[in-house]
Amino acid sequence: MARITHRDAYANLLRDTRGMRRDHAGARERWYAQLPWEHKEESLFELEMLLKGFACFGNARNHPGPPRRVPDVAHDFREELRIMRDALMQAGDQVRDLLGEKERAYVFSRYLETVLPEDRERTQLVHDQLAQDTPEAALMVLRSSFGGYLELAEGLLRLNRIPHRLYGALQSTVTREVGRNAFFNPLVALEFRPEFDRIRAPEVLEALHAIESEATHRLVALTMLTLFRGLRYVSLVERYAGQPATARRSYLILAVLRSDLRALTRFLFRQAAGIMADGLERELMEASASDIRMRHDAWTRRAAKLLSLRRTLETIANTLRIEIRKTFERELPAPADAPADDLLGPLLIQASASLRATLHHAVLDLCVELAPERALPELASDEAGRRAASVRLRRDVWMFKQILRAFLAKADASSSSGLDHWSSAASFMYVREFLNHFRAIGYQLVRRSDYERLDHFIAAIDHLRDADLMDAAQMRDAVGECRSFYEYLERLLAQINRREELRQIPFDKQTAADTLRVYLGAA
């Protein structure tokens, strides 16, 4: 089968995921190409993510902080409305920048509203203002609507208390306005835009190019595009957090980040395995019997690679789920509990470094899985990024050590009971739980290490996974390999602690234990 060109890594997704008519997509591309200034990509990205943020921020599940304990009817939504007001102001600024000189047409239209005496003429003017035949006209609609919503938000903030129904009415109205826009509606989950969703790292494109299956290629391309989109979210959060006046605006972008990564993890958990299996099945059904006989070994290797890729994708999904939950629920305050603006910014920047390290790690894991012999992309070029990656690796090693220690303690306590004990339902479930933990945390630690007994360890774990009943010899072999790997992790942890970027950073066992509790609670 001919390999897919690297352009298809994202070209088809960019075309197919946009909820836009073909003629509108063409008009938008021509409009964007004609924009004269250098930073148009950043301006359009920021506008569309703010637009998406209005919808995502309306869902309290996307907010940082622990789950809200009081019902919505008892909560004062003043802080949430302040954040929305600030985002409306910023979105209006971005629309003005994108309109350029055509902003004058909007100002003149507003002037006409005040001087036209006849209702018929005023009605026609309103009709003309709502037309969305071109991207500029669609921006005009946003400009006009957001101006009105901003005035409403300013008026509401003069009240002593903002009830849920009042806040929700404004938030849903703004979201519906975005959803009705013909050219600037980014509300679809896992959608991508050609203007700013380009993968520019050549090492990543080469890794994608190594995929032979079309279905798997599309699956991994979607994952990579979402991870790189997440990195852009983090950069925007950092930019907002760098100034006290804009720090609270970060909450909208954080809501988009959490929403998109939740959609990705659900997609990988629920559909990735089926997509890869269906793709391989279609290729096998299209091949002749003689071709399958001749290529039996090649097909077997393909199946093994897909199985390994599936495990990597599931590990990435689980890691993202745990890291996002930890960062949002343990490290960031809820909007209503946020400190002063000058204190909120450093918290957001620290959390962004952790999120960036997690996303970098996911991209690198996929590259290692797809093309282990190729060079890895340089994603963490700054010292803070390298430090965050090392802190995360040290924490993951410590976490899996605890899981291994619990498994070995169970094995030692049960060894005197013989095979019948290991065949019992309770013991078998315990082994299953360990296998799930290995898949979620340990698999990538093993794959990316230079452990000398790597092949033996993987084979022993695979034998446990594939067995319907516990075999005493297989169990003893697995326990022995786990014991050896535990000793290796102790040595590895000592080596990581000696890294230059960690010399002044002692190991935070409390934070690692909290993360392990989050993981065990979500597993």
Percent of the chain with pLDDT over 70: 84
Q: Which of 322, 344, 379 is the last residue of a domain?
A: 379
Q: Which of 146, 179, 212 is the last residue of a domain?
A: 179
In a domain? residue 485: yes
The one-letter amino acid code at 522 reads A
375 in the same domain as 395: no
346 in the same domain as 216: yes
162 in the same domain as 262: no
Residue 348 contacts residue 188 (beta carbons within 8 Å): no
Residues in Cβ contact with 423 at an 8 Å cutoff, skipping those fewer than 6 apart: 469, 470
357 in the same domain as 267: yes
211 in the same domain as 292: yes
Residue 396: per-residue pLDDT: 86
302 in the same domain as 433: no
As given in the structure block, the two tokens for residue 172 are 């849903």
269 in the same domain as 230: yes
Taking only the tens place, the pLDDT of each residue in 324-375 is: 998 999 899 999 999 999 999 999 998 998 899 889 989 988 998 898 888 7
In a domain? residue 329: yes
Averaged pLDDT, 236-257 = 96
170 in the same domain as 266: no
Q: Cα 352 vs. chain centroid, distance in angstroms?
A: 13
Taking only the tens place, the pLDDT of each residue in 184-228 is: 999 988 888 888 888 888 888 888 888 888 889 989 999 999 999
- Look at residues 397, 491, 402 and name the one whose alpha carbon lies nearest to residue 446: 397
In a domain? residue 150: yes
206 in the same domain as 155: no
* DSSP string covering 46-58: HHHHHHHHHHHHT
Q: Cα 468 vs. chain centroid, distance in angstroms?
A: 35
In a domain? residue 41: yes
Residue 276 contacts residue 306 (beta carbons within 8 Å): yes
What is the domain extent for residue 241?
A: 202-379
Q: What is the dihedral of CA 247, 232, 94, 29, to 10 degrees?
A: -170
As given in the structure block, the two tokens for residue 315 are 């590990």
494 in the same domain as 436: yes
In a domain? residue 14: no
In a domain? residue 3: no
Q: Which of 330, 349, 379 is the last residue of a domain?
A: 379
Tokens 């989109």, residue?
229
CA pair distance 330, 514, nearest whole angstrom: 9
What's the length of the chain?
523
Q: Which has the higher per-residue pLDDT, 43 or 16?
A: 43
* DSSP string covering 304-316: HHHHHHHHHHHHH
Q: Which has the higher per-residue pLDDT, 242 or 126?
A: 242
* Cβ neighbourhood burial of 146 (10 Å; 0-12, 13-18, 19+): buried
The total number of structural domains in the chain stands at: 3
In a domain? residue 303: yes
- Name the pTM for this structure: 0.82
208 in the same domain as 306: yes
42 in the same domain as 158: yes
In a domain? residue 92: yes
* Cβ atoms within 10 Å, residue 86: 20
Q: What are the start-end ranges of the H helices in 337-382?
A: 341-370
Q: Is the pLDDT of residue 81 over 90?
A: yes
